[in-house]
Amino acid sequence: MPSVSPELLLLAGALTLSAPLNAQQGREMGIQAIGTAADPSLVVAAVYGGIRSSTRTRLSASAGAGVSSGEPAFRGEILGHFLLSPSKTDGPGFYFAGGVAAVGGGVDQGYVVLTVGIEDRPAAGAGWVAELGVGGGVRLALGYRWRWLRSATLR
């Protein structure tokens, strides 16, 4: 059974405890597929949750299961996002994200994650998302997010 680092547990706890304080800014839920090109490669289907902690920032966590070198595998991530166009209700918006990932299965490892993303209509109720970066190899994520935002997020 793979172990999770104390640092990752601390970050997950901080994200969980901060949720009530940030609820007035907005919440997001979604589904995504994450793939990494490394040796061994990894593909997972994941659930995603995010909190808009301010107008331009978001904290997110995802957890997914899939395969790595033909073996069952999992990947969990905790990321901080900086949104470049948080109030766009039409068209795409870009963002940067960084954080940590824990992977188990073909390899049991922790990684630093850095990515750039594009999402459809960041201030609307839902939209697609695509990310490209690094974190356990070259990392690609594709997904869809549903958002519940308050007007304070859009200022």
Per-residue pLDDT tens over the stretch 45-90: 999 999 999 999 999 999 999 999 999 999 999 999 999 999 999 9
Residue 1 forms part of a structural domain:
no
**Would the CA dihedral through 56, 24, 13, 125 be positive or negative?**
negative
Q: 136 lies in which domain range? A: 6-154
Q: Say what the pTM is.
A: 0.81
Domain count, the chain: 1
Domain CATH number, residue 71: 2.40.160.20
Residue 32 forms part of a structural domain:
yes
Q: Kindly report each contact of residues 110-115 with a partner whose C-beta sits within 8 Å and lies 24 or more positions away, as own/partner.
A: 110/5, 110/7, 110/8, 111/135, 111/136, 113/77, 113/79, 113/139, 115/79, 115/139, 115/141
Residue 66 forms part of a structural domain:
yes
